[in-house]
Structure 1
Amino acid sequence: MTRDYVDLARPFTLVAPALGFISGALTAVGAAPRETWDASLLVAPLIGSAMAALLNAGNNALNQIYDLEIDRVNKPKRPLPSGRLSIAQAWVFTHVTYVLALVLAWLVVPWPALSVSTGRHECFWLVAIAVVCTYIYSVPPFRTKRLGIWANVTIAIPRGMLLKVAGWSSVKTIVGVEPWYIGAIFGLFLLGATTTKDFADMEGDRRGGCRTLPIQFGVRRAAWMISPSFVVPFLMIPLGAWLGVLTGSFWWLQALGVVMTLYGVYVCYLMLRRPEDLAVEENHVSWAHMYRMMFVAQIGFAMAYLL
């Protein structure tokens, strides 16, 4: 039974949000004015990292509840379509993880005000917005998952933009351009990159009434449409450094921008040389590279601000 709940949470997807939150926090530590190092600085980011993983686990469960008929076709071995867990059990898991995530979000306050009564609760309100986004993505009558590009938007906002800003909020205030500029980079990346998971799911999505980009425009055209998201956002890194918006190490940021842009071009090449493979392979290499690009970018930003 425990293994079934773990499968419901989809643990391999939980590392990215946890790392993203920590990266956002470490970026804030090194941002001007640079924070004086103290071990207490890590308390709020670690709480927030656990929160991000829990929220993503709850979101995964919520999505599977409303995707049951689709998953009977696309992912029949998952806990719900296989009958290993009931809908009622999935709802309990969803409610528990969402509540725990919101409680932890309330506890995320910047050092030295490590008190829920005196600290800023910017993280909580960002997470509350993210919860709303995850709800309207999966749940009727909104269910933006069936509305093409709006599905991408309601993924990119919480998992890209708000995640980075929430991480920043565990160390510094979010009032200012820098955290939102960084969040926009990751949000714009996910705006297109999140479609990589849709190509192999076209049959089930079509039956479930979800008009994803590959269904609306075809595999080849959709692949071309999302390609800019693998390149353009990362050009914003050196630009932000030149403009003085990004206050990390100038040359580290230039290097990160070059590395991520070249990596993105390579992934575009993998997608566009034989786009029809995107709809044939269950986990196309571009989907795996999407996660790897996230990891490289998250770690790269932290290094650019700490070194």
Structure 2
Amino acid sequence: MDSMLVGSLKRPSKSLHTFPATVHLPSLRNSIQGSRSKEWSFLERFCSVRFPRHLVGKQTVTGQKRSIVCPTYSRKRLVVACCGQPLESEPDVYDSKTLWNSLSNFLDAFYRFSRPHTVIGTALSIVSVSLLAVERLTDLSPVFFTGMFEAIVAALFMNIYIVGLNQISDIEIDKVNKPYLPLASGEYSTGTGILIVTSFAILSFWLWSVVGSWPLFWALFVSFMLGTAYSINLPMLRWKRFAVVAAMCILAVRAVIVQIAFFLHMQMHVFGRPAVFSRPLIFATAFMSFFSVVIALFKDIPDMEGDKIYGIKSFTVRLGQKRVFWICIVLLQMAYTVAILVGASSSFLWSKLVTVAGHSILAALLWRSAKSTDLSKKAAITSFYMFIWKLFYAEYLLIPLVR
């Protein structure tokens, strides 16, 4: 141990090494000759000045030998010293860990800021509607996938703008309703939020300018206008304060714009075909109209407390949680009933079997989950709201099969 300690003194440029809890200074000093004694004297003076509270301890005298006992010295430092490791972490290791933690925290905050359930819904809806434009297997070409990918990316950029602007306008409300969001929790400043939403809105329209599809432009432009009017706190705007207008905004974007505009983008811009409104497209628009109304109504049920405090007159605030909850369930069950009838009328046996069975299963799952939801617990209501979004995703898997 003595030789290890003394050997470390030859490297003054490295971090200072520690020494064991009990050190026999005289015995070590006698074993050191020449220049090493000077180094030891320096170490002794350094330790007595730098770490006096660790060196003050019980002194024992046994014959001619004195021992300085350091009972409070940390075990971590002793292990590091005995292993020949520096007292502090290496700078490059520290920097890499700090960089990784910063990146991880940023991505986690951005994930919550982007409201991932809406991102997934937007992407799935565009994939589903794009498949409605497929008339034959040869349509599934690189041109098809390129056009669909361009629409998805542009729409996701606009989606992040819309949900981000809503959070910027609702910081105080979200501190009550959704304190985990980055702006409400303080992870993002208002300036950071504004920078993000502005950048994504610009990127969305820039991508359209590269693609040059007019149906895609109208999808982005109408979404931008309605999303801004829905959230921004300016005179004659902030339409989310009015329950009917708020529901109409969500219905227009989710049910009409997404279905028709992105279908026409694939039909006209990608395939170069004339605009048509097929039976599956009409079904998708009608069904998603019901679903969009349900989402518009249900999203306010978990947020009733904050909406009531800040004067947002949602249907939940006016009618109560339980009544709005069961209105949503009834609307969805009606939509599933219509979907089953449409599926049963299909001339394709495979389409009839899949759509009837699929919608029947979804309707049964909805009813079972609704009956078991405890409306007195906000966590249960929020969990059921996420379940509705899962039903929303599942519907977009069935829509391309309606023929």
User: TM-score w.r.t. structure 2 length?
Assistant: 0.64
> Counterpart of 1:46?
149
| Change in CA separation of 1:51 and 1:236 when aligned onto 2, cut-off 3 Å | farther
Residue in 2 that maps onto 1:260: 359
Q: 1:168 is matched with which residue: 249, 254, 263?
A: 263
Residues 1:296 and 2:399 are matched in the alignment: no
Report the equivalent of 1:5. 110
Q: Contact between 1:63 and 1:138, CA under 8 Å: does it hold in 2? A: yes
> In 1, distance between residues paired with 2:261 and 2:145?
14
Q: Are 2:331 and 1:229 aligned?
A: yes
Q: CA 1:302 to 1:205, structure 2 compared with 1: closer, same or farther past 3 Å?
A: same
CA distance in 2, matches of 1:154, 1:139: 13
Correspondence 1:143 to 2:209: no
- Give the drift of 1:62: 0.3
**SS of equivalent to 1:172:** helix
Question: Partners of 2:371 and 2:324 in 1: how far apart?
Answer: 10
| Larger relative contact order (Cα-Cα within 8 Å, sequence gap ≥ 6) | 1
Superposed displacement of residue 65, structure 1: 0.7
Residue deviations 1:62-101 (CA, integer Å, cap 9, x gap):
0001111101111223211222211121111111111212
What is the CA-CA distance between 1:147 and the residue it aligns to? Answer: 1.1
Corresponding residue SS for 1:7: helix
| 1:20 equivalent in structure 2 | 125
- Aligned-partner residue type, residue 271 of structure 1: A
Residue correspondence of structure 1 range 241-280 to structure 2 within 5 A: 249=348, 251-253=350-352, 255-271=354-370, 276-277=375-376, 280=378
Once residues 22 and 155 of structure 1 are traced to their aligned partners in structure 2, the CA distance between those partners, rounded to angstroms, is 19
SS at match of 1:152: helix
Number of matched residues? 289
Distance in 2 of aligned mates of 1:253 and 1:87:
51
1:45, distance to aligned residue in structure 2 (A): 0.5
Return the match for 1:156 from 251, 255, 264.
251
**Structure 1: runs of 5+ lacking an equivalent:** 109-115
The code of the aligned residue for 1:15 comes to I
Match of 2:182, SS state, is coil
Give the counterpart letter for 2:146 in structure 1: V
Distance in 2, Cα, partners of 1:296 & 1:212: 27
CA RMSD of aligned residues (A): 2.8
- Map of 2:176 onto structure 1: 73
Distance in structure 2 (CA, Å) of the matches to 1:187 and 1:106:
30
Q: State the Cα distance separating 1:222 from its structure 2 match.
A: 0.9
Q: Highest Rg: 1 or 2?
A: 2
Whole-Å separation in 2 of the counterparts to 1:106 and 1:233 = 37
Q: Deviations over 1:3-38 (max 9, x none)?
A: 3333322234311101111111012114xx886442
Q: Aligned pair in 2 of structure 1 residues 268, 197: CA closer, same or farther (>3 Å)?
A: farther
Contact 1:146/1:211, CA 8 A, preserved across alignment: yes
Residue 113 of structure 1 corresponds to: none
Q: 1:194 to 1:253 in 2, by over 3 A?
A: farther
Whichever residue aligns with residue 321 of structure 2, its letter is: V
Q: 1:285 to 1:79 in 2, by over 3 A?
A: closer
> Which amino acid counterpart does residue 324 of structure 2 have in structure 1?
A
The one-letter amino acid paired with 2:358 is V
| Alignment-derived partner of residue 126 in structure 1 | 219
Residue aligning to 2:18: none
Amino acid at match of 2:276: G
CA distance in 1, matches of 2:263, 2:309: 41
2:130/2:148 contact within 8 Å kept: yes
Correspondence list, 1:91-130, <5 A: 91-108=194-211, 116=212, 120-130=213-223
Q: Distance in 1 between matches of 2:259 and 2:209?
A: 17
For structure 2, the residue ranges without an aligned partner over 5 or more in a row are 1-101, 269-273
What fraction of aligned residue pairs are identical, expressed as a percent? 20
Q: 1:181 to 1:155 in 2, by over 3 A?
A: same
Cα distance in 2 for partners of 1:250, 1:264 equals 21
> Is residue 190 from structure 1 mapped to residue 292 from structure 2 by the alignment?
yes
State whether residues 55 and 101 of structure 1, in contact with CA within 8 Å, keep that contact through their aligned partners in structure 2. yes
- Whether the aligned pair in 1 keeps the contact of 2:260 and 2:285 (CA below 8 Å) is yes
Structure 1 residue 121 displacement after superposition: 1.3
Contact 2:373 2:380 in 1 (8 A): no
Counterpart for residue 112 of structure 1: none
Q: Distance in 2 between matches of 1:257 and 1:130?
A: 32
* In 1, Cα distance between equivalents of 2:182 and 2:164: 10
- Partner of 1:85: helix, strand, or coil? coil
Residues 340 and 360 in structure 2, CA contact (< 8 A), matched pair in contact too? no
- Give the Å deviation of 1:201: 1.2
Cα distance in 1, alignment partners of residues 291 and 276 from structure 2: 21
Deviation at 1:146, TM superposition (A): 1.6
Could you tell me how far 1:183 is from its partner in structure 2? 2.1
* 8 Å CA contact 1:59, 1:134 repeated in 2: yes
SS in 2 for 1:284: helix
